[in-house]
Amino acid sequence: TLNEPFRESLHGTLDETKWKRIAYIIFAISVVILAAAAIFIFLYIDKEEEENEEKKEDNKINEWKWEPQGDRIKTRWAKGLDINKIWQEYPRPQLERKDWINLNGPWKYSIRTADQLSPNPFDGYILVPFPVESSLSGVMKTFTKDDILWYEKEVEIPESWKGKHILIHFGAVDWKCEVFINRNKVGQHTGGYSYFYFDITGFLKEGKNTILLKVVDVSDTVYSTWGKYQPVGKQTITPNGIWYTPASGVWQTVWLEPVNEYYIEKLEINNNYDSREIKVTFKVANNVKLPIEFKVKFNDVLVGETKGKSNEEISIKLSNENFKPWSPSEPNLYSITADLLLDSGEKVDSITSYTTIRKIESKRDSKTGKLRIYLNNNPLFNIGPLDQGYWPDGIYTAPSDEAMVYDIQKLKELGYNTIRKHVKTEPFRYYYYCDKIGMVLWQDMPSGNVDGSGSWDSSTMNGGTDTVRTQESKDNYYREWGEIIDNLKFFQCIITWTPFNEAWGQFDTEAVVNFTLSKDNLRLINAASGGNHRPVGNFLDLHSYPGPNHFLKYDDLINVIGEYGGLGLEIKNHTWKDDNWGYQVLNDKIELTNRYIEFIENLYNLIEGGISAAIYTQTTDVEGEINGLMTYDRNETKIFDVIKEYHQKLIDKLSELK
């Protein structure tokens, strides 16, 4: 039993302990409150500073005084470009959705050496999608194999896209591109001439997101190692003669797009002219088979509809009344709409597209027995220019969609029915316009590995020797050529693939032709235009400058002249530089036109001997070459449109030999 004094003492001690505990608790709570307040203030200030920095950055972009760089000639479309409205058209006509965000316009950029791991501080702004070496990029700097080109842009994902998968698409980036979202790597792509995309959903956050691109481009250092390991077309950092300014980095549209978990990735077209069927496979990732509702219209009139499954071919048979074949003279297009459904019937994707129906084959005519290019069961003389797709202000990138389509329309006005797209690819919209306007197209693979290790002899069959290529070089070739075919075979204007030009890097020709066929067996193959001829593919293609000449005949292939002409005419104040050249230089427009007509008349006389196509060099002047039908700035047409009548005579002559 505790005595009273001790009990009172104990109570006192207990009370004291209790109050101490309460004091400690109050102190701890105060510390927590003060800490929380400090953190809140810190975060608020940090957020405010971040918002201020964002506002400053936005102001910098808005205040950026973009202007074309350099003092060389420019096209009329380069003037007055709105940096916030660059290439605004939906970039993929073959598979279009309504909801998307165009990322063209100002991006931060920096050029750093390979040993510098960070892009900071950025050098300024670049106008996407113009190559860093171009005037229209606002940068116009040389980019070497030892450099890294960084791009950065902030974007905010719309609230309406919540719960969607977000895709980032790139029309083309030359050459190797790594993509980071909020400093996390989402993927990389190698190849400067083919489209690619990534699903970036898992890397996004609330508010603004940072897109960072890291690009390297070996291009070349000197001619002897030009394009040694990668396809480069005609790019060189030492432009001269037929080799031109490089186009590094982003050079086609970049865009964002929301989709559901299941969505249509691409359309594969396998139309059958003879059975009058439109046949489409709607590809969905992972070979998932879901219901598809598919409609086809012609001039807004429904001509067929059906249901099927994704990843399986769906066919619509056309009636005689609705059968409208495509040709250069009648470029008929059918519009397509398709809905992807879940098994429950819920719609998860809707796209619009288009197609044409035509037949292309190699066939002997009944009059001479020579192999010809047959379109829709009729021989068609392919007459058109070599088209390199270069621009004085944008290099690989036209200033605008309007500028790009101008070239095709102008060639159509001059009576051409064909374009040979020379060692370069174009944006998807280019091929769409060829479909729409009516242009047959020969598509080259961009060359590379031109190092002198092989020999070139185009005067005989089986002449010349292969280029010696490393396995890395071969792998780069096959990967990129395969992607180009996969990306472009939708477009029915393309009737032939050309893997090699003039023995530039030519190797294992038969294996490359077989590889091309494995990717697409619905078109003709021009194994080596003007190169080392091999008895494979569909063409024997001769290059003859300046005038056309049938110097080698081979009855088991279609005989064509894949390059001729190159007639030069200098137009003052419309040349790239003072030191210019052509294969034959004329004095004026009249003289040039007359000489050109002589060449056409020579071709006319070569048709019965087997010549079935002729490609004139070229659409426009390019840098130091003044052998274009138009000046490099597209301001002057250097030939009279009377040539249209002579082109038609070639077409009519071959048609008579059916």
Comparison of pLDDT for 13 and 284, the residue scoring more: 284
Comparison of pLDDT for 51 and 645, the residue scoring more: 645
- Say whether pLDDT at 223 is over 50: no
Mean pLDDT of 522-541: 98
Q: How far apart are CA 408 and CA 429, in angstroms?
A: 12
CB 609 within 8 A of CB 656: no
CB 427 within 8 A of CB 404: yes
DSSP string for residues in 156-200: E--GGGTTSEEEEEES-EESEEEEEETTEEEEEEE-SSS-EEEE-
Q: What angle do CA 386, 477, 256 make, to 5 degrees?
A: 85
> Model confidence at 7, in pLDDT bands (50, 70, 90)?
very low
- Say whether pLDDT at 5 is over 50: no
CB 174 within 8 A of CB 190: no
> Model confidence at 600, in pLDDT bands (50, 70, 90)?
very high
Q: How far apart are CA 314 and CA 462, in angstroms?
A: 43
Strand 277-284 and strand 249-250: pairing? unpaired
* pTM (2 d.p.): 0.91
Mean pLDDT of 282-295: 95
Collapsing DSSP states into helix, strand and coil, what is residue 429?
helix
Q: How far apart are CA 84 and CA 557, in angstroms?
A: 51
Query: Distances in Å between the alpha carbon of 15 and those of 2, 19, 146, 639?
Result: 18, 6, 77, 109
Query: Distances in Å between the alpha carbon of 154 and those of 56, 58, 106, 147, 581?
Result: 13, 10, 11, 24, 46
The pLDDT of residue 28 is: 67
Q: What angle do CA 392, 417, 656 make, to 5 degrees?
A: 155
Share of the chain above pLDDT 90, in %: 84
**Residue partners of 598: CB distance under 8 A and separation at least 6:** 547
- Say whether pLDDT at 450 is over 60: yes
The pLDDT of residue 6 is: 39
- Say whether pLDDT at 21 is over 80: no
Return the CA Rg of the chain.
Answer: 31
- Say whether pLDDT at 9 is over 50: no
Amino acid present at 349: D
> Model confidence at 374, in pLDDT bands (50, 70, 90)?
very high
Least confident span in 64-73, 103-112, 315-324, 353-362: 64-73
> Which of 254, 241, 217 has the alpha carbon at shortest distance from 143?
217
CB 91 within 8 A of CB 103: no
Strand 539-544 and strand 528-529: pairing? unpaired
The pLDDT of residue 23 is: 62
Mean pLDDT of 116-142: 94
DSSP 475: H
The pLDDT of residue 420 is: 98
Q: How far apart are CA 472 and CA 477, in angstroms?
A: 9
Collapsing DSSP states into helix, strand and coil, what is residue 265?
strand
